[in-house]
Every structure is written in C-alpha cells, then in structure tokens.
Chain A
C-alpha cells in the first residue's frame, strides 16, 4: 500500500457532478478512487491510513479555470500551495510555467480545441472602474459595459459562422451575459466563467480607492452582480474561478489608477463558492459544481468528480468552521485580495492530489 492510499470514513460525500450528497466512506488506492459509499471489506482489512472525517465534507478537488502563475518556479510552487490550502487540485493557467511536483495542484493549459479569450474591446478606452456615477464620484476613468458587450457580440458572430467552440473568461456585465444566454439557447458552442470577486462584490466595494478592488474587468453594479449569480445558478455560466493574479510588492502601492489590476485569489475559491451557496440558498452540490465538475468538463479534465477510477483529487472541508483571510500588509502580493481581513466560511482541512497530500491540517 503506497502513501497515496488511504481510507476516509464517516464523511459527508458530495459529488456535484452526480448530485451525490450522503454520508459514507471513500477508499483511495494508489492515487485513484477505488471505492466509495460503503467501506469495502478489503480496505477495512488493509493496514492503510484511516481518516475519520466525521462532521466534514469530502468532495472532488476544486478545478480553477483562472489562475495566474509567476514565471519563477519556486514562486509558482508557493502560489500553487496557497491554492491547495483552499481545496484546489487543478488549475488552468495561460502562463507557460510548468511546475511538476507531487502534492501540488496539477497545471493545465486551456484546451486546444476551444478558443479561450477575455472579452474586452480596447476601442472603449482604458477605464479602470465601471463607467457611471461611482467612477465620476471618484474622478476615475470609467470603462463602459459596451467594451465587454461589443467584444461578446463579435465572438458570437464568429461562433455562429464557424461553429468553433469559444470560452469567454471573466464576464462582468448582465448585458453580455444575456447575449451569451441567447447564443447558448441557439445551440452555439459558447461557454463562459466569472471570477469570485465579481460574484460577491460591486463597484461600491472600491470604497475610498481600495486598490485591491482594481480589477479587470472592473467591478460593476449590484444589478450586474445579481445577474451573474443567477447565470451561475442556472448553468449559463459554467465555472466560478479565483482569477488569481500574480502581484508584486509594488503593484498595489500607488494611486488607484496606477496600480496593477487584479487580485490574489488563491485559497479563497472553496470558501467563496460555499458562501454563495449559503447566502443564496442554493443546494451545496449545485454550487460546488461550478468549481468542480463544471470547470473540469470545460477543460476536458478527468478530475472534478467522485467516481471509482477517477484520480484521487480530493478536498476535505469543515463546513461549520470559519477562518480569517490574512490581512494584507502593504506590498503583500499573495494576500492582496478584497477579502483580506474578512472571516470566510468553510475551512479546508485537507487537499489530496492523486492521493498525495497537498495540504493537511488538524482534523
């Protein structure tokens, strides 16, 4: 029996892909899920590690479709380790860095068969916040929603003509989402995702020039946020992503418009998906599908599900525990998130990648 073999008992098994949500056990043998549901006799008899997960939920490891990686390999490992602390076992990153190490989340490039892009039309200027009354109030250049809508319109026209699948990364507006919904209703091969910040925050969260809320696309109105949440709940939006951005120590220490857009998101994906489920009353398995089976299917990955034969990419979480996102000291890039210093629901106790521990804490 290798290190990548263990038995988890008394867990709340949640498999968003199949809708499974019931107590049970899960047996990992040689990095693969060998059995789940009841404790198999062979596992019970074997001298493997047995983890009593009473009171905790065992779910597929999270698949993060939007995760920026630094070029330096050691730095990249630190960012991946931070992601693992939030239950992530696979990331899709456009960055060329490849860090292969056991016990770290897997890195995948966007699928080659799908055109993967961020919808933004630069003709609408270089606004740093959503155009509107709040931008006026702050004296900051506004980016109109038309910058996203025009880009999405062009993509839809291209998909309609060529029938080649496209993925729109990081939608932010209700208007663009409405177009995507209509295109999907026509049967066009179009998918999209949104970031955790846009699911939970609006332009008002910028407050008094909080540079952690300088994002691209910019945070928008409450109406947009509600539309995105609805789109995520009804499946129009296939994935919720951390949109983790690599930030240097200087990047957020400047007046708002001069800061580098983006925010750290490593380690937050599970808690913010769970918070959304809790706040909206959505069934937990349905919400978690947006960070597991949904993105795995989009990226063509084998993970994101609890099934016999699937890789043992797993996340064990205490749903009743809260944790504090570390306050962001000035210049702290990896903690530079709008959620810094806030309590987050749902604590990830352990993350396994291929059965190897990527993160384990007391449980």
Chain B
C-alpha cells in the first residue's frame, strides 16, 4: 500500500475514533476520584493479613500471583524467541572481532573509563540486588531489581572490552538464570497444590511487618522473578552484542581489547 492510501485509511479511522474517544473520556470518573473498590480494599486488608508494606509487590506476588506467572511465561517466550531467531541465523560460535563501520574512528579505552566502569558496575549490581531483596518492604522488587542488575553487565562491557566481558558473563549462566528462575517460580506455585491447597497459597510463615523476610511465599516468588529477569535481559544484551561482531577473517583493526 502506498503512503497516501495509508494516510487516507488513518484519517478514516480517526473520524470514527475521535468522537468515541472524546465521549469515553468525558464519561470517565473525574481525575483523582477513582471509583474502583479493589485497590482500596487491598490497601486496607493486606498489611495486616500478609505482614508486608509494599502493596504493589503484594498484588503482584500474592493476590494476583497467578497473573504474574502468566507474565513470566510471556517474558520467557519473548526472550527465547529473540534468542532462537538470532542464534538460528548466526550459529552459536562467538566472533572474535568487533564489527567496524568504515570511516569511524576506533578510540582506545582510557584508564579512567575502566576504573569508573568497574566501580559503577559493582554499585549498580549491588543496588539491583538490594532493590530486589527489599521488594516486599520498600519500592522495588524482582522486576526492577533484575533490570538494574542486567544493566550493570553493560557497564562491565564498557569498561572491560568484549573478550573479558564474555569471560565474565557466560551465555550458559544467563540461560540457566532465565529458565531456572521461571522454573522455580512454577515450582513455588505448585508446592501448595501438594498439600491440598490452591496454587500460590501463601503457606510459609509471614514474618514481621517491615522485616526483610516478611511476606512468606512472596519472598521466594520475588527472588525467582529477580533471577529470571536478570537472566532474560542479560541474555538479550549478550545476543544483541554478539550480533554486532564481524567474522574473524575480517581485517579491520579491532578495538583495544584488554
């Protein structure tokens, strides 16, 4: 379809949609006065019922834990699909040389960059783990902590160069983290079934309010998601970086790998 025809279709769609969207927007409850009862009920009941302070984590990992299991499966499927597509086209070998676009300068890495990246990568990883572990108490949780931890891998790449980075961040370890986290989540969901309770029933002791290990089964599920998200995004970054490598016979000068 040519560009003008697409715009005509878009205009036709907008003629139908704009009045209906305006109608719906005018009929919604006024901003700042929510009419839903589910959220306030959770806010009122759960701190006492589950001994946790972060209601978002409580909804994710306990009240609507089964939905999160579905989200986790979507995450694993999307990452698996991306990795299969990339590896299927490229093969599983690691390429030794950085790809290089002609006419672009290759700059050596300075010592200051290496030092700053080592420090910040360590701190970022620590912050990710901290955020994930305190998920049931303060803002944070497995999803955010996992992404922060995975982004520390990129700082490591910036500081250490490709070869050293590949020695530290193993593809197999990322595979194991991703699949293992999701598997442990499924096991944690199934354990209450064994003792005759519905799936994801919180059977563990709840612990103390505002304590690091409060929330019972939530702590386990939170940690499983942290492992899985770290593995997923680590694997995605690894495979995307692998895609920017050139075959070894390429004679372009490599970046200064340490």
Binding partners A and B: no
Which residue numbers of B lie inside 8 Å of A, CB to CB? none
Which residue numbers of A lie inside 8 Å of B, CB to CB? none
